[in-house]
A and B are shown apart, each in its own frame.
Chain A
């Protein structure tokens, strides 16, 4: 058996190695976090007071810097009063992994403290709505315009310099303007997402369409295709799989604009939830909310990738996993039938 190689330049990994490294990607950061959280002599710069003793300004459950606490202990030791007791603890902004894990569930069950505040799932729904409308509006104009730019040099020349210029203006800079025009509710937030996505989208789509091999257009021309068909029957289908991947990447960018968009006007959605929880010092919930955003993004992307692999059969010739599983089921059925 050949020696297993772990760090060979530009070599594919075996399935076992892939799984192992994939697992490590999650476990290593988690291990570091656990180390800092659970091993008391690592970091833990605070003391959580369990018994205030005779110190008047200390309360049970309070977090104080270790230096201050030790000074009080020394002072009372000399004065001969009741010495305060406490345990080493991390700052409040670094909850232990298990508390965040629990919060992933309890964040959904934490009742809003003020009337008019939203539950976590309601906040998430609002954020997803913002992203969805922002991305749909941007794509509805950006994709056709990008395709036209990719197809016709004249349209590209008229559009792209301006788009390139605006692209460098940070989308949140339009916040105040959007509030003035569209009010303080969801509309200006959607507008920020649109501004953040649209200009990139036009350029990315145009470039993808331009990558279509010229020889395909030539072949179509010798078969009698005219302008309209060259665009609709050659350029668009030829670049469709790449356009689909572009959309996936752009959707990721739209998410990055979400948090800044949601503080425009009246803070809303997941951002509002995060800010409220931070105000109440429920940092587990803050982490939980951030992790949930990540999970939503990752799951969306994986679902889109899964669909993409199957939507363009000419690109991907390996049989779909679903079909393989069905095939195996039927194969199994056959065996039992013939037994």
Chain B
């Protein structure tokens, strides 16, 4: 989704320039305790031609109630990264600390929202949200009451007794968010959660998510391939590069909060967008793989033009 005109737009500020309020916010953010520390994490797969490095020496930390987005070109291992943080995949080197304690394997302290919803189809919305609580041996009555609160929070009160198959994509993903949050995780991991939604629903979900994040004590690590989504949501953006997956830059987003879709055209937003475009779609790389133009010959009559 490269917008070439952005490269041409002159007079944008440096994406590193922060307004005083924004700089102050980042200063306070850095003072908060670190929730997740990823320390030189690496992952190798055995491929057809020997070992393939998917991720190499990835290090970063996420502070309490921070919103960090991870972006990168396809094949950069961003999904592998979040799956390793969730404990669903094993790193081949490095370690992860959650609240200073090393973690391995999946656990309810790291909640996850998947792109494919992964709601339990045999459970109603309420029962889905109760699942994590029941796993923590919360008694049924309490679990149901707490689930109810989360369902109301994501605005699905009327659909509490529906089965997932009866919900739209956006409602499914709201249920999945409520389910993950109800288990009271230290950090919420989101793996391209809005990737399967249509543009309108996605914009709505982004607004919902920001609303939830503002009001709930939760730290979010969010994977996306949508650059605008990353800038809109994130405090900081972790940019990965592919082959092997490595940290390219950790960008502090200069767009002031509270955020809204209206900021998409603000100078800070556009400056950040231009920087991300440079990182993700470097001008040189575009010529390497695919030819500029398709080798199409004219198959219509002369004069029969559509533009």
Contact = CB atoms under 8 A, between A and B. Distances in A.
Interface of A: 213, 215-216, 218-226, 229, 233-234, 237-238, 240, 312-315, 317
Contact of B120 (A218, A222, A238): A238
Contacts of B169: none
A221 B166 CA distance: 25
Given A229-B135, A240-B122, A222 B165 contact: no
B169 to A, nearest CB: 16
26 contacts: A213-B118, A215-B114, A216-B118, A218-B112, A218-B114, A219-B119, A222-B106, A222-B108, A222-B112, A222-B189, A223-B183, A224-B107, A225-B131, A225-B135, A234-B120, A237-B123, A238-B121, A238-B122, A240-B122, A314-B121, A314-B122, A314-B163, A315-B121, A315-B165, A317-B165, A317-B166
A315 B122 CA distance: 8
Nearest to B115: A215
B136 A224 contact: yes
Name the interface size band of chain B: 20 to 34
A237 B163 contact: no
B195 interface: no
B180 interface: yes
B131 A237 contact: no
B77 interface: no
Contacts of B114: 215, 218-219
A223 B106 CA distance: 8
B135 A219 contact: no
Contacts of B108: 222-224
A220 B131 contact: yes
Interface of B: 86-88, 106-108, 110-112, 114, 116, 118-123, 131-132, 135-136, 163-166, 179-180, 183, 189
B262 to A, nearest CB: 34
Given A224-B135, A224-B136, A234-B120, 18 more contacts: A219-B112, A219-B119, A220-B131, A221-B87, A222-B87, A222-B108, A222-B180, A222-B189, A223-B108, A223-B135, A224-B107, A224-B132, A225-B131, A238-B121, A240-B122, A314-B163, A314-B165, A317-B166
Nearest to A221: B106
B125 to A, nearest CB: 11
A224 to B, nearest CB: 3
B167 to A, nearest CB: 11
> Which 8 pairs show the lowest CB-CB distances between chains A and B?
A224-B108, A223-B132, A221-B106, A219-B118, A224-B135, A222-B112, A314-B163, A215-B118
